[in-house]
Homo-oligomer: A and B are copies of this chain.
Amino acid sequence: MLKVGLLGAGRIGAVHAKAISSHSGSRLVAVSDVNSEAASKLAALYGAEARTNEAIIDDKSIHAVLIASSTSTHSDLIEAATKAGKAALCEKPVDLSLTRALACQKAVVPTGRPVMIGFNRRFDPNFAALKASLDKGEIGKSELLSVTSFDPAPPPISYVKVSGGLFRDMMIHDFDIACWIMGTTPDQVTAVGTSIVDPEIGKAGDVDTAVVTLHYSDGRIAVIKNSRRAAYGYDQRIEILGSAGLLAAANVLESTVSKATSAGVVSAKPEYFFLERYMRAYAAEWVAFVDAVTNKTSLPVTLADGVNALAIAEAAYRSAKSKSTVDLASVL
């Protein structure tokens, strides 16, 4: 039985608390949050205690922490937890600063503790089925990957301002998806971004619509499209063209019902946002983490994966600014 401390009791912390509690191999023993009331409330729901971060990290009976606090605390908490001998599952991104993330990665190595980054989409059953088919060679050798990733609506401007920008905050998921599907990191990054959804986002120095092309050393290409707004809901699709065919993972719809009238045939919309679409992925992510930690097997997503995605985001940022292709090596 893996005893777990949850650092962060916000919206995503609540999702993880449920996953931890529903798993027969793990138990939620403590919850912390800067808002101690939120911690108490969430802890109470699952028969856990509300504590401080420090109290959780210092508790030797706790085997693992799930870090779901604000991004600026991630690196510090990863370092503290692993130093204290704990395994950690940390929400993305590792840090907004690539330099800080690299330092964190360096600090963790000597502890030998497993650190997994919460790229939950790898555990979406549809994406996992696509990846499995690709790896079995069912469409031959991969050549061109396309990722469509649109949020239903832009976040508040206050969030945009501290988010690190679209590439580090939103597209980072897709950079990881690309690394995972293609089985490696790209050599070069070419980014084009614009603010067209909401001029306030542009004024805040960020983009809300972007296309990033990744170029791999063996000639393969990946292209990622992001928009902060899709009026019809969360648009999360992957397509990969291979030498013998194409694999596509379509959206998950709210129902299978269609309505045909004189106005056309209306089907359901995609599930609204990540809490709907990726609920099963969060559960599967936790199962995979518990499996790896318990059985001392390799983690399905590593801290290095978190650093790589952040490095691509950094390169994308520089490419969009310089209007030229950026070598990934140049940012590391």
Residues of A within 8 A of B (CB): 125-126, 129-130, 133, 138-140, 143-144, 146, 148, 150, 188, 190, 192, 194-197, 209-211, 213, 215, 218-221, 223, 225, 227, 229-233, 235, 241-270, 322-325
Contact = CB atoms under 8 A, between A and B. Distances in A.
Contacts of A243: 197, 229, 231
A241 B150 contact: yes
Contacts of A129: 254-255, 257, 268
A259 B194 contact: no
A265 B266 contact: yes
Given A133-B259, A143-B197, A324-B325, 4 more contacts: A126-B255, A192-B215, A264-B266, A266-B267
Report, nearest first, the 6 A-B pairs whose CB atoms are least far apart. A245-B261, A324-B324, A232-B260, A323-B325, A196-B219, A250-B256
Nearest to A132: B257
A227 B241 contact: yes
Contacts of A248: 257-260
B257 A133 contact: yes
Contacts of A209: 143-144, 219, 221
A215 B197 contact: no
Contacts of A227: 143-144, 241
A237 to B, nearest CB: 9
Nearest to A267: B265
Select the residue from A126, A192, A257, A263 with max chain B CB neighbours within 10 A: A257
A325 B264 contact: no
Given A140-B231, A197-B243, A211-B213, A260 B269 contact: yes
A170 to B, nearest CB: 14
29 contacts: A129-B268, A130-B257, A133-B259, A138-B259, A139-B231, A139-B261, A143-B197, A143-B209, A144-B209, A190-B190, A192-B215, A192-B221, A192-B325, A223-B223, A227-B241, A229-B243, A230-B245, A230-B260, A231-B242, A232-B245, A245-B259, A246-B259, A246-B260, A250-B256, A263-B266, A264-B267, A265-B268, A323-B324, A324-B325
